[in-house]
Amino acid sequence: MDWSSRTVHQGEELLFHRTAGDQEVEDKVVERERRSSRTVHQVRSLIFQLPRTAGDKERIWACGTIRTNRIGFPRSKVNILVLKSPRGSIRWIRNGSLLFVQWRDTRDVFLCSTLHRRTKDTVQRRIKGADGQWQLKDVSVPPVVKDYNRCMGGVDHSDALIGYYKVLQKTQRWYKTLFYHFMDIAIVNAFLLQKDLAIGKGGTSASEGIQRTLAVELAEAGLPPQPRRPPPAPRGAHHRPVYISGNSTAGRLKCRQCHPKTPVKCSTCDIPLCFVAGRDCYNDWHVASNL
């Protein structure tokens, strides 16, 4: 099959119920594609309604994943995959131009296509053998699965990464939902870039780790800068203890050495320090600072 002239539609169908406006938009798209001379192949992340524009006449074919509870999905139980069906088992159902496929991987995958035939291919998977060892084995796979992964694998992988540690939460404002989703996408993109850099340096990276780092940096972004320790006074400067204010009770500050409040500070360093018989932080701090 020649895929060189294919136009791929990427994205997820978000409409659970079709409206008159949706129908009008689809009719316009179909009419435009009918007038063109090219063949359009659509690959969808999730099909909520069976392709209405399928077939050679309209030259618009489609394939994608589908949920089994959708109207039009076959209810036949013939050759249905059971719990003991091995990995790589395939079930085909043909309904006119529609081909429904059930494929057993680590879980069951359901797809619908109007541009594939009932053929088989193989893909390598790590399977645990009877001896408990993991081995690479060839597993049967429908071509529709390989084509879908080739076109939409990046979208599904992005959704999977977002689903591990997502910021998105229920909200009553639609713009907040968009904001949280965009934040999830930005975090995943940052993780992928950081992962590539880590691999280049021979290291590893974890999505949870970068999220914690980003959370800490965002929390610190709005905090006022921490006061820096003043540079030491030049040698020979005259240091002497003075009261911070005339009212020794109201003008007390935390001691830089032991942290209880003190009414005394160094006149040159401008640092509050205890200067009492039981706590001589004033001299201890100056000796430690070589002043």
What pLDDT, in 10s, does the model give residues 158-191? Answer: 666 777 777 777 888 888 888 888 888 888 888 8
pLDDT of residue 286: 84
More confident residue, 3 or 99: 99
Q: What is the mean pLDDT of residues 125-130?
A: 81
Per residue, what are the HEC states of the chain? Answer: CCCCCCCCCCCCCCCCCCCHHHHHHHHHHHHHHHHCCCCEEEEEEEECCCCCCCCCCCCEEEEEEECCCCCCCCCCCCCCCCCCCCCCCEEEEEECCEEEEEEECCCEEEEEECCCCCCCEEEEEEEECCCCCEEEEEEEECHHHHHHHHHHHHHHHHHHHHHHCCCCCCCCCHHHHHHHHHHHHHHHHHHHHHHHHHHHCCCCCCHHHHHHHHHHHHHHHCCCCCCCCCCCCCCCCCCCEEECCCCCCCCCEECCCCCCEECEEECCCCCECCCCCCCCHHHHHHHHCCC
Determine the pLDDT at residue 7: 36
Whether this prediction's pTM lies above 0.85 is answered by no
Instruction: Identify which has the larger pLDDT, 6 or 66.
Output: 66
Q: pLDDT for 206-245, tens place per residue?
A: 666 777 887 788 777 776 776 666 666 555 567 888 888 7
